[in-house]
Amino acid sequence: MKKLFTFSLILAIIFSQFPLKSQVNAEGIEPLISVKLVNYLGNKSEVTVKSAEVYAVKNSSIKLQANTEYKIKVAASSVSLYLGDVLLGTYPSIDLVPFNYNVPLMINGRSYLGNVSFKNENNYVRPINTLPIEDYLKGVVPNEMPASWNIEALKAQTISARTYAMRYANTNKTIDDTISYQVYGGYTWNTNSTKAVDDTFSRVLKYNNQLIDAVFSASNGGKTESNANAWGSTALPYLPIKNDPYDIAKEWNVTLHKTQIDLTKLDLKNADSWWTSTNEVDQEISSNIKTWMKSNGYSAKDIKIVKINKLDLTTPTSGGRMSKGNLTVDFIVKGELEADGSLKVQHLNLTEVASSKIRAAIGLRKIQSYLVTNTNATTTSISLKGKGDGHGVGLSQYGAKKMGESDKNYQDIVSFYYPGTTLSAQYSTKQPRTGYKIYTPKVNSVSNVDKQLTGKSEPDTMITLVANGKVLANAKTDSKGVFVLNIPIQKAGTNLTITASFEGFESDPTVIKVLDKMAPVKPVINNVNNNAAYVTGKSEAYSTVTVKIGTKTYTTKAYSTGSFKIVIPVQKAGTLISVTAKDSSGNISSVTSVNVVRVGPNMPTLNAVYSASTLVQGTAEKYLTIQVKIGTKLYKAKVYSTGTYKLAIPKQKVGTKISVNAIDSKGNTSATKAITVVK
């Protein structure tokens, strides 16, 4: 984003969720934002941290004590925490969380609210500050616009900054604190700009009910530019080209010498004699060019700029900004020689390239905009003049200042610079500023046969287990956050509440239900005889009872008393019957088995009888008496030694019922087999 008196071409801004906190941009809740600290910190392999109160080190038993300086250093691919010269630990990241949110953490002397995670980024310590977006804006607005300006301009700046941030709040990436996004100064708040943030809480700009790209720059030179011209994107109706009577049309100019180093006075075959002591005439511009070259194919080379032969910006857009440019540079590289051993003069030719490339090479603070009003080249120098400061798209900060001084309110300002947009609230509830939070413990499942409860929380925290309003157990986590609680066996379905606490801070509870892993008691089976057509017994109340006879199974539910009765076919004496019970959790009891008891002859078989039949036939125990009953009539016969029987009967009508049983010599009667006559 464009900081006042600074400029950035980079449009995108991206936000991330803090990995240990609530969902970013949850509906109705002020989101959190994560910011990589680069602008003020730079690239450091070691940083110092200090606070007026205690900070917790996440996933560690270490706590940073108040008013004590610690060091964080890079270590291989990790970061290490030191107290003086004593190594306290090495971690993939060091996550610091305040016990009191309102007490900032000082990083190399600059203060930041919220959580800060330190990581190893290319062998530099890189802090990432995570905090509520409204507090982030309080560190942005006074760094993007002077806090001494009128309150309406500051409110308009706040609306733009918040909309710009929220536009990308769900992209799950981390921004930084530079002009590549928005300049964020941490806890460098100002009363005036803080009031502007508070007075516009959550308000953003939308077009067709969608957040807009609320870009802004310091000065548009008296005429706004379209986003399509500036960045080649699809033209947006709320970012048009229009004259701006409020902008101060800030002027800028840059002049450079064509000859930067006069090689005619130097020994090109003995560069070591003068290389270190010889510098370009325009050192800042030459340094910018060399920095650009090292990022574009000339890395790790010691370069000196000899001449800048050509510099201009051309091809105006419909908004009057120059879209193309030319730059011709002569340069030498230490150690790169001609055949005769003299330094080789080389050439950089950028012809009709994007004007942004030329501006980046010369310097963003040298060519402050693309609204060039004059170019003058002589035999010895090149001069450019222009208006504006920044890309000129969207809000002009100087224009907003002038409008505010002209009794325009912030609604008027954003309406002028973003025509057709509407103001609306993005969220209604502030993110809690609670400081250090013990996160909900992760608890492993527990059943009605377990005597231990295990899980994981933060190191050095106290874990407490409550059931039915009573504390059952508590214990501390170890250095890795693991805990083990010895508990009495609990009934299935019991709710267990587990919390973690440290120095008066308590987590939200984790509630789990005791699982049922205890199998039902082995069923009790009453005797089953060879005349019985059912199995009875007792099992766990409401359990599913299964009877298995050979490959056949029969099931029923036990009553509330545990009693059960299952209808089965009459079985022969000696047949094995197996019974199991299964509870509602799927636990299955041990098997109870019985053999069918003989109380009389086994039930005979009976073949089908047809309407044309004059015989009843089947099998039974040999030598028994077979008794056939049809209506009121009885027919008897002896079973042959082969175990078969045959009785003559009159032909019967279809549907007539025929029943058969067997009688032994003692008068014991078998169960009855019955069929009906079929056609």
Do 47 and 91 lie in a common domain?
A: yes
Q: What are the pLDDT digits (tens) for 151-161?
A: 999 999 999 99
Residues 272 and 210 in one domain: no
Query: Do 577 and 672 lie in a common domain?
Result: no
DSSP 3-state of 189:
coil
The single residue listed with the structure tokens 């009128």 is 150
Quote the pLDDT of residue 22: 31
**Same domain flag for 291 and 373:** yes
User: pLDDT tens, 214-247?
Assistant: 999 999 999 999 999 999 999 999 999 999 999 9
Residue 90 domain flag: yes
| Domain shared by 556 and 627, yes or no | no
Q: Are 344 and 337 in contact (CB under 8 A)?
A: yes
188 and 283 housed in the same domain: no
Mean pLDDT value across residues 27-48: 92
Q: Burial level of 235, CB count in 10 A (0-12/13-18/19+)?
A: exposed
Q: Give the domain extent around 447.
A: 442-513
Of 513, 532, 567, at which residue does a domain stop?
513
Within a domain: 37: yes
**CB contact set of 138 (below 8 Å; sequence gap of 6+):** 189, 193, 194, 197
Q: Which of 532, 563, 595 is the last residue of a domain?
A: 595
Q: Where residue 73 falls among pLDDT bands split at 50, 70, 90?
A: very high
State whether 104 and 170 are in the same domain: yes
Q: How many domains does the chain have?
A: 5
Pair 137, 264 in one domain: no
> What average pLDDT does range 419-432 have in this prediction?
94
Strands 124-132 and 175-176: unpaired
Q: Tell me, what's the pLDDT at 102?
A: 95
- Note whether residue 404 is domain-resident: yes
Q: Are residues 240 and 262 in the same domain?
A: no
Q: Report if residue 538 sits inside a domain.
A: yes
pLDDT digits (tens, 9 = 90+) for 523-575: 999 999 999 999 999 999 999 999 999 999 999 999 999 999 999 999 999 99
Maximum separation of any 2 CA atoms in the chain, in Å: 144
Same domain flag for 68 and 122: yes
Query: Contact, 645 vs 638, CB < 8 A?
Result: yes
Spatial CB neighbours of 49, under 8 Å, sequence gap ≥ 6: 55, 64, 69, 70, 71, 72, 96, 105, 106, 107, 116
Task: Report the pLDDT averaged over residues 314-322.
Answer: 95
In a domain, 22, yes or no: no
Residue-wise pLDDT tens digits, 116-126 = 999 999 999 99
Token couple for 476:
């501390």
Q: 15 in a domain, yes or no?
A: no
pLDDT of 5 over the 60 cut: no
Last residue of a domain, one of 513, 535, 563: 513
Q: Is residue 408 part of a domain?
A: yes
Domain annotation covers residue 2: no
pLDDT tens per residue, range 271-311 = 999 999 999 999 999 999 999 999 999 998 999 999 999 99
Residues 65 and 176 in one domain: yes
For the record, the structure tokens of 95 come out as 């996550």
Sign for the pseudo-dihedral over CA of 279, 282, 288, 293: negative
Looking up residue 480, the CATH number of its domain turns out to be: 2.60.40.10
Closest by alpha carbon to 127, among 59, 209, 39, 195? 39
- List, for residues 151-206, the tens digit of each pLDDT value: 999 999 999 999 988 877 667 678 999 988 999 999 999 999 999 999 999 999 99
Does 412 share its domain with 354? no
**pLDDT for residue 172:** 67
Question: Per mean pLDDT, which range of 54-68, 110-124, 386-400 is the poorest?
Answer: 54-68
